[in-house]
């Protein structure tokens, strides 16, 4: 600190975390706790040595044991103690494993024993000499022996426990005894124990300084005794500072060198890029803990380090006055960090503006000029009075004394019987489920009792038995043979459930739990206590099974309430919490009926459920109210405005909003969030949430405050979606897959058309398969909640992007106007007043209206951003619809395609096919006036209705070339050419292929075998066409690719040698060994199971599969 500096004592104290200080070696005079020798150690050591005298003697007598060590050891055993003899015996005891595995403790007791028996000077000499005896570990053919070393042995960690304990004992002895030890150890400084003497006696700083200069190789001992920056620099100069990444050395340096350690720690930070993340973070945290200007400057100069910014912000909070001074100084300079320093200074002043005057005397003229040049923050809106606020933000329940009602526990509830609930025709459908062709058949005269009592049966035999044996026999099997068909065809199990109904519940549940994602559907009919328990466990939003759990609850509704009662009214724990949540979901919007259902089962249960459902949700608080991290300061956040007046929440209310958000969890949003949303301006809330999120990012995204991300879903808006989506797409590539998956919940929670559009786009196309699959599950969950398929939901998610109903948009600049149009790929363009088409909207000029022009320009920019996000996806969807044969009802076609302001621009560029009751009846295109036209440009009328689309039995789809004759293809292509209609993808002129007669009867398509090897990256590229990648095996190899086709089947490519994901597939080539059509899993298909002939494919699917395989094998 300079002579003119103001005194900020609170910013000059080094405060190490208690967990760090606990690892610092004790030092005399440092205020360490009093340490005294363990009075029992002498007896314990004596007993152990006496019991092992013979074995220790054998070590000493080994001809390879150093003779001097042997003599000293034997003398010690004979009752003639010397420090060397004591060290030898201790080493031998460790060598023969009589002092074993808990080495740091058990070796340390020798120091206590020696101190008690022979005194401090003896013990200190022995402790020093232990470190220079090398033990060669023994075996039957190579007995243990001892050798003298010429330096302390760093790698013998157990032996270091002895001098470590001795150093601790020396912290508490009186001055005379300590001086005697100094005198006793000084002669050892000419031998191999030299560095150990400096370690044992860190007060002898002349020794330490000399050793740092002359025997630097013993840095690992000396580092615990250095106290000056000069000693430290000498000891770990240059790149050797990286040694500080080890916490025991780093903490010792911080504790005893203090701020003078900053340069060495900074050098270690520079060299830590290749170290483990926790080591990097530890070094950065250490640098920013040091209370000095030099440490602050060193940290600031390293702000580009990906982990430094959060730590520097914490340093600014820890030392606010120092930060203000140093940031002003750097901002006034011309270094590379001047701009960064100025940005941080402006931010810092928002939080610590009150220090502005108090530090002025410490600043030079240039720094003062920078400080004075920063304008104070813009005035904030007037603060709302308490009378305008909801009670939650004035006196929330967590700030009041509250007595939580004791939960009702009913242990005597009758257990509801297991049952099944079928939808119309479902049981028969399950009973008729197609079985595998090779399913086992039991003879009609089977002796069932003998069969069950005989040798064990195969899994397929058990499964067949359940279908073919008498009920009495089958039920005995169900009771005693659970899990007997773990690998078998799910269709068999459907048939088993249809036959045995509730009696199969536990067997099926056990089977499902082996692979819930693939098998959960088998649980749909069951209403059973154990099944309900599992359904409740699947409800948390972060579980991939939540969509299924919600569909199960929706299917059974109030009828499921009794099976949740035993857990919901049972003892406290996770099962109770999950069951209570299930009851709340079932009772949503029908609480009275839910209570009545519970009461019908049990009167006491009805009262308990009523109490659960009617309790004030604001009082549903955890035992411990979460604390918002100290990284967040509300001075950095935008104000939250009230919904009905231009006033802002006071700071105390903002703090309560933060607690309200922190109380919420995915799937369990605290009821106070609804109060906040109802009371506050939505736009200001969304900006507030995004500002918190940015602060969270800037401060390293601490996991303890993960609520910040999910809060975006509770109070975010469409702009939040646009900002968050690019991060979601990027996070998996930054090892943040979990965070990206959590952010999908945010998009779903926001729930607007824009949010769901972006969620659907991620589900369809993102380069990270794990994220894409989770997004698909989330879309399925949302769609199921609306009673739609994911495709139907996607139709409803396409925003109009601000276009008028007729699909037009006029941008008004005042003196001039522009009309927006779209090309075949939905890329927007504008047409000016002269009819000239422009790719981009010109910027407002001097003659344009000052208000209209900028607003119109901003509107076009926002629209273009949204269209860019959805354009490619919409094109892909229509091509996929053509390939997969998707059909829209006439009403859906009109409402979501023809009438949509944006989508119709694509619709009019395609040829459409009409079917009635599945029978093809005609083709049409959409004219520019949105009427329908046939091949002769005559109005096209759909059966049963006029031009305005009438009856729902009429379905419409994107026409595939194979649905037209050759003449029809040419005629329609000519019409589109005459009207200069450019198509978004190849519809006319699309390459088509056919299976040969031989291929139709084959299960393996061999026509591509002659094409040799295909680059692995080209194979993986099939994913962009809807192919699924096989799971990587133990060696990270993908063995197959699969393409879903109609009928629940898959075309499977078997690969050799397999694509190594560890190597990224680079420069690898694959042989397409088999191309199969599978009814079951692709993994089973490559083993030859569950195959069907390719003739099962319809002509369009076969053509598209052949086209994709042709492109793969001819263009790679």
Query: SS3 sequence, 515-529?
Result: CHHHHHHHHCCEECH
d(CA 28, CA 200): 10
Two tokens at 1048?
């629940």
Helix axes 574-587, 546-556, angle to 10 degrees: 50
pLDDT at position 640 over 90: yes
pLDDT at position 1016 over 50: yes
Contacts 24+ apart (CB under 8 A), 763-766: 763/790, 764/873, 764/876, 764/877, 765/872, 765/873, 765/876, 765/1024, 766/729
User: Band of the pLDDT at 1066, cuts 50, 70, 90?
Assistant: very low
Span of 252-266, 320-334, 1031-1045 with lowest mean pLDDT: 1031-1045
pLDDT at position 321 over 80: yes
pLDDT at position 251 over 80: yes
User: Band of the pLDDT at 481, cuts 50, 70, 90?
Assistant: low
Contact indicator for 217, 192 with CB cutoff of 8 Å: no
pLDDT at position 517 over 90: no
pLDDT at position 196 over 70: yes
User: Band of the pLDDT at 156, cuts 50, 70, 90?
Assistant: low
In the prediction, which pLDDT does 2 show? 33
Contact indicator for 430, 467 with CB cutoff of 8 Å: no
pLDDT at position 457 over 80: no
pLDDT at position 263 over 90: yes
End-to-end CA distance of the chain: 68
Two tokens at 631?
């990284």
User: Band of the pLDDT at 272, cuts 50, 70, 90?
Assistant: low
d(CA 72, CA 88): 7
- What's the mean per-residue pLDDT of the chain? 87
Phi, psi (degrees; rounded to nearest 5) at 858: -65, -40
Q: Choose the most confident range, by mean pLDDT, from 30-39, 113-122, 1047-1056, 1070-1079.
A: 113-122
For 753-798, give the DSSP string.
HHHHHHHHHHHH--S-HHHHHHHHHHHHHHHHHHT--HHHHHHHH-
User: Band of the pLDDT at 951, cuts 50, 70, 90?
Assistant: very low
Helix axes 682-698, 718-730, angle to 10 degrees: 20
User: Band of the pLDDT at 943, cuts 50, 70, 90?
Assistant: low
In the prediction, which pLDDT does 947 show? 38
pLDDT at position 259 over 80: yes
Q: What percent of the chain has pLDDT over 70?
A: 92
| pLDDT tens figures, 374-390 | 888 888 899 999 999 99
> Cα dist. 257→252, 261, 286 in Å?
8, 6, 12
Average pLDDT over residues 630-636: 92
Q: CA nearest 242: which of 265, 221, 225?
A: 265
In the prediction, which pLDDT does 948 show? 39
In the prediction, which pLDDT does 542 show? 59
In the prediction, which pLDDT does 1033 show? 52
In the prediction, which pLDDT does 720 show? 96
User: Coil, strand or helix: which one is 135?
Assistant: strand
In the prediction, which pLDDT does 275 show? 76
Average pLDDT over residues 1095-1109: 94
User: Band of the pLDDT at 823, cuts 50, 70, 90?
Assistant: confident
**How much is the pTM?**
0.71
In the prediction, which pLDDT does 6 show? 42
| pLDDT tens figures, 705-756 | 999 999 999 999 999 999 999 999 999 988 899 999 999 999 989 988 888 8
| pLDDT tens figures, 534-588 | 999 998 765 678 878 988 999 999 999 999 999 999 988 889 988 998 998 999 8
Average pLDDT over residues 920-946: 84
Two tokens at 6?
């103001």
In the prediction, which pLDDT does 879 show? 93
Q: Choose the most confident range, by mean pLDDT, from 137-146, 476-485, 693-702.
A: 693-702
In the prediction, which pLDDT does 71 show? 96
Contact indicator for 764, 771 with CB cutoff of 8 Å: no
Domains, in order of start, for the chain: 26-188 (no CATH), 329-373 (no CATH), 419-619 (no CATH), 634-797 (no CATH), 810-978 (no CATH), 997-1115 (3.30.310)
Average pLDDT over residues 198-222: 94
User: Band of the pLDDT at 499, cuts 50, 70, 90?
Assistant: confident
In the prediction, which pLDDT does 7 show? 44
């Amino acid at each position: 600190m300079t002579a003119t500096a103001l005194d900020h004592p609170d910013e000059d104290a080094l405060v190490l975390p208690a967990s760090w200080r606990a690892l610092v070696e004790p030092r005399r005079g440092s205020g360490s706790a009093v340490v005294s020798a363990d009075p029992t150690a002498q007896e314990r050591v004596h007993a152990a040595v006496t019991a092992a005298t013979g074995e220790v003697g054998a070590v000493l007598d080994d001809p390879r044991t150093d003779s001097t060590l042997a003599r000293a050891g034997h003398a010690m055993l004979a009752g003639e103690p010397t420090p060397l003899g004591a060290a030898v015996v201790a080493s031998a005891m460790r060598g023969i494993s009589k002092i074993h595995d808990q080495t740091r403790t058990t070796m340390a007791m020798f120091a206590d024993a020696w101190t008690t028996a022979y005194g401090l000077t003896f013990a200190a000499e022995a402790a020093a000499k232990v470190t220079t005896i090398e033990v060669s570990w023994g075996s039957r053919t190579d007995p243990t022996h001892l050798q003298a070393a010429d330096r302390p042995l760093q790698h013998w960690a157990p032996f270091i426990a002895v001098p470590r304990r001795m150093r601790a004992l020396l912290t508490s002895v009186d001055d005379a005894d300590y001086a005697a030890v100094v005198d006793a150890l000084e002669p050892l400084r000419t031998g191999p124990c030299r560095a150990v003497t400096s370690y044992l006696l860190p007060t002898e700083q002349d020794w330490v300084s000399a050793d740092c200069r002359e025997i630097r190789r013993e840095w690992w001992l000396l580092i615990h005794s250095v106290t000056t920056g000069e000693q430290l620099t000498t000891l770990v100069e240059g790149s050797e500072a990286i040694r500080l990444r080890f916490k025991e050395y780093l903490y010792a340096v911080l504790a005893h060198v203090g701020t003078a350690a900053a340069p060495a720690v900074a050098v270690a930070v520079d060299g830590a890029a290749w170290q483990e993340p926790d080591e990097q973070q530890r070094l950065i945290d250490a640098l920013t803990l040091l209370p000095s200007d030099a440490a602050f400057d060193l940290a600031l100069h390293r702000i580009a380090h990906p982990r430094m910014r959060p730590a520097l912000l914490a340093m600014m909070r820890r030392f606010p006055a120092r930060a203000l001074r140093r940031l002003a100084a750097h901002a006034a300079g011309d270094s590379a960090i001047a701009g960064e320093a100025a940005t941080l200074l402006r931010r810092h002043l928002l939080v610590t503006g009150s220090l502005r005057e108090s530090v002025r005397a410490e600043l030079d003229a240039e720094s003062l000029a920078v400080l004075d040049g920063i304008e104070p923050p813009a005035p904030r809106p007037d603060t709302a009075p308490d009378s305008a606020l909801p009670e939650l933000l004035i006196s929330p329940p967590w700030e009041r004394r509250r007595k939580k009602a004791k939960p009702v526990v009913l242990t005597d509830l009758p257990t509801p019987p297991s049952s099944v609930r079928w939808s119309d025709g479902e049981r028969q459908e399950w009973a008729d489920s197609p079985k595998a062709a090779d399913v086992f058949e039991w003879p009609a005269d089977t002796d069932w009792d003998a069969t069950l009592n005989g040798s064990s049966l195969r899994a397929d035999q058990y499964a067949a038995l359940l279908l073919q044996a008498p009920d009495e026999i089958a039920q005995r099997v169900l009771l005693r043979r659970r899990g007997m068909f773990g690998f078998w065809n799910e269709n068999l199990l459907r048939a088993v459930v249809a036959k045995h109904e509730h009696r199969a519940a536990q067997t099926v549940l056990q089977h499902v739990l082996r692979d819930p994602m693939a098998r959960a559907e088998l649980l749909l009919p069951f209403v059973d206590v154990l099944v309900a328990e599992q359904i409740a466990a699947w409800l948390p939003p972060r579980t991939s099974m939540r969509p299924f759990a919600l569909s199960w609850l929706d299917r059974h509704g109030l009828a499921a309430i009794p099976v949740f009662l035993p857990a919901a009214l049972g003892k406290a724990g996770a099962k109770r919490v999950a069951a209570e949540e299930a009851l709340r979901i079932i009772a949503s919007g029908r609480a009275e009926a839910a209570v009545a259902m519970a009461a019908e089962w049990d009167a006491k249960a009805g009262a308990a459920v009523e109490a659960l459902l009617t309790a004030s949700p604001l009082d549903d608080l955890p035992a411990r109210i979460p604390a918002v991290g100290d990284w967040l300061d509300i001075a950095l956040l935008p104000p939250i405005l009230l919904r009905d007046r231009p006033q802002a929440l006071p700071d105390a209310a903002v703090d309560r909003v933060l607690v309200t958000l922190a109380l919420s969890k995915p799937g369990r949003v605290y009821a106070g969030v609804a109060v906040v949303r109802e009371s506050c301006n939505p736009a200001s809330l969304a900006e507030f949430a995004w500002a918190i999120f940015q602060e969270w990012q800037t401060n390293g995204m601490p996991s303890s405050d993960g609520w910040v991300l999910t809060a975006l879903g509770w109070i975010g808006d469409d702009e939040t979606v646009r900002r968050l989506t690019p991060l979601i797409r990027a996070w998996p590539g930054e090892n943040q897959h979990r965070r990206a998956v959590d952010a999908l919940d945010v998009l779903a929670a926001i729930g607007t058309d824009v949010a769901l559009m972006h969620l659907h786009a991620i589900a369809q196309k993102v380069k990270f398969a794990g994220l894409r699959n989770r997004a698909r599950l989330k879309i399925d969950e949302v769609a199921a909640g609306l009673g739609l398929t994911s495709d139907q939901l996607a139709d409803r998610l396409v925003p109009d992007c601000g276009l008028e109903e007729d699909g037009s948009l006029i941008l008004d600049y005042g003196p001039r106007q522009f009309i927006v149009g779209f090309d075949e790929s939905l890329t927007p363009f504008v047409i000016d007043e002269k009819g000239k088409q422009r790719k981009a909207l010109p910027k407002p000029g001097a003659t344009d209206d000052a208000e209209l022009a900028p607003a119109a320009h901003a509107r076009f920019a926002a629209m273009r951003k949204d269209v860019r996000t959805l354009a490619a996806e919409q094109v892909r969807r229509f091509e996929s619809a053509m390939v997969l044969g998707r059909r829209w009802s006439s009403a859906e076609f009109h409402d979501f395609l023809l009438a949509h302001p944006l989508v119709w621009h694509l619709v009019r560029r395609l040829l459409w096919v009409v079917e009635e009751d599945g029978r093809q009846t005609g083709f049409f295109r959409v004219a520019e006036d949105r009427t329908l036209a046939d091949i002769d440009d005559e109005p096209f009328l759909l059966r049963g209705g006029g031009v305005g689309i009438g009856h729902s039995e009429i379905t419409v789809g994107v026409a595939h070339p194979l649905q037209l004759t050759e003449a029809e293809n040419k005629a329609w292509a000519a019409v589109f050419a005459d009207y200069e209609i450019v198509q978004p993808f190849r519809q006319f002129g699309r390459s088509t292929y056919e299976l040969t007669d031989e291929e139709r009867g084959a299960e393996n398509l061999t026509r591509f075998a002659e094409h040799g090897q295909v680059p692995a990256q080209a194979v993986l590229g099939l994913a962009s066409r809807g192919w699924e990648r096989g799971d990587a095996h133990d060696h990270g190899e993908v063995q197959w690719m699969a393409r879903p086709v109609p009928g629940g089947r898959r075309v499977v490519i078997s690969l050799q040698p397999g694509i190594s994901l560890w190597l990224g597939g680079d420069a690898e080539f694959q042989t397409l060994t088999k191309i199969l059509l599978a009814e079951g899993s692709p993994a089973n298909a490559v083993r030859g199971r569950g195959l069907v002939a390719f003739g099962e494919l319809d002509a369009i699917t076969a053509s598209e599969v052949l086209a994709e395989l042709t492109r793969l094998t001819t263009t790679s």
